[in-house]
Amino acid sequence: MNEFRLLDSAFRHGIAEADILGVIYNSFDSKDVEGTDNRLRYGFDSKGNVVEVAYDHVERVVFHAMRVRNAANRVSEKRKR
């Protein structure tokens, strides 16, 4: 059972539901958005593209998902930590 509610806006950039949930549950990076209940997660879709997913982690509502344009920088920054 899907524990998250996905808003229509989460599909605006053409990311499939399975890929969105895959990023949430199998992310390689996660950031809390200061002053909000929002969280960003970064992971790979089924085609190997890096995807960013934004959601309210208290209400468990996903409102944004899109491919990361500068994925090489995002991955290399993570490896430096």
Answer yes or no: are the C-beta atoms of 57 and 48 closer than 8 Å. no
Answer yes or no: are the C-beta atoms of 56 and 38 closer than 8 Å. yes
Q: Which domain holds residue 69?
A: 5-80
- Going by the DSSP 8-state scheme, the letter that residue 9 receives in this structure is G
The band of 65, judged by pLDDT with boundaries at 50, 70 and 90, is very high
pTM for the predicted model, two decimal places: 0.82
Domain count for the chain:
1
How far, in Å, CA of 26 to CA of 21, rounded?
8
Q: What is the pLDDT of residues 10-61, one digit of tens each?
A: 999 999 999 999 999 999 999 999 999 999 999 999 999 999 999 999 999 9
pLDDT value at position 2?
Answer: 59
pLDDT value at position 12?
Answer: 97
Angle at CA of residue 7, ends 72 and 73, nearest 5°: 10
